[in-house]
Structure 1
């Protein structure tokens, strides 16, 4: 049976060893499911988003994908997905990125509109992987839907595409983005539960401050480590 190496963060590797988790069996099952989803994505016409119905994709997520498809010519790549995410309007990903001191305007300049684009006719391997990783991130966070925040995570985690590379170079690393998304969602749910419906926009705007406060201890620890180094 062929062997595939799986690399884990140090803390997760220690936990797996301590609990004696059956890594091979779990990885085989997870990879089997992911392989099926990636194959299904690759076989889907990008112009037909009905395949997302079973994933409970949000309207904003669908809107981002439509913009991505419209920017592409031939294959829809991860740079197209990033463009769609940044151009969609007012999704949670766009509120999370500034809390990580990511220059959203600079990212938009890195993936501008493409005049004369004819629309994507297929997904690139990297884009299909990013979409699958978005689903995996949603499941890992215990969510029963896939939104733009999950697409952001999928792009950051995907190692080879230009979209993820641009995000990481801008300062959006996996751990910080995941923590920021979690903080934003929990903060928004708390605010929404205690805010009249007429003030929902104000509640959403307040999420940025909550996320910054949640991330402050992490930023301080990183600064101390850098000073020691």
Structure 2
């Protein structure tokens, strides 16, 4: 994985892997990445999702309804092509914003910029507005609190 990923972004991806195992899925999809971001509770991506009504229990319920459950502990084969694409978009978003790192906020932006992803479909089906959530993330980048935290 790219060295530019923050500890929280790496942790969110690891939590996505753990979620896939927990759900008995043999792949890590965008839905698992979404859950991994939500579970990284003190990260910006998680805060924005929660502020938009997407708590961990809701996201888990949405995934279970959409993809069901398999056999718990099933070996995870890796990222789906769409999930890899979302991560590529996250890196591109960080580059576009001239950020030297890729955080959970960029991972979330990647999901929001890939509207055909399972995660984006889940957000939309539950009443989420992808453009509003994206704007909420982007607005955080311009806040003085965010700029101060990014410098530390």
TM-score (normalised: structure 2): 0.77
- Deviation of 1:190 after TM superposition, in Å, equals 5.3
> After superposition, what is the alpha-carbon deviation per residue over 1:135-176, rounded to whole angstroms, capped at 9, x for unaligned?
111112221110001111111221332112112333444432
Q: Trace 1:42-121 onto structure 2 (pairs within 5 A).
A: 51-53=1-3, 56-72=4-20, 73-99=25-51, 101-104=52-55, 105-111=57-63, 116-121=72-77
Counterpart position of 1:130: 86
Counterpart contact for 1:156–1:168, Cα < 8 Å: no
Counterpart position of 1:5: none
Aligned-residue Cα RMSD (Å) equals 2.6
- The number of aligned residues is 141
> After superposition, what is the alpha-carbon deviation per residue over 1:30-56, rounded to whole angstroms, capped at 9, x for unaligned?
xxxxxxxxxxxxxxxxxxxxx222xx1
Q: Which has the higher contact order (CA 8 A, sep 6+)?
A: 2
List structure 1 runs of 4+ shifted beyond 4 angstroms: 112-115, 190-193
TM-score (normalised: structure 1): 0.53
Counterpart contact for 1:77–1:124, Cα < 8 Å: yes
Counterpart contact for 1:69–1:119, Cα < 8 Å: no
Distance 1:85 1:192 in 2: 19
Distance 1:182 1:103 in 2: 18
1:177 has 2:127 as partner: no
Unaligned runs of 5+ in 1: 1-50, 198-229
SS at match of 2:42: coil
Counterpart position of 1:209: none
> After superposition, what is the alpha-carbon deviation per residue over 1:94-135, rounded to whole angstroms, capped at 9, x for unaligned?
222344x33424224323697713342221111111111111
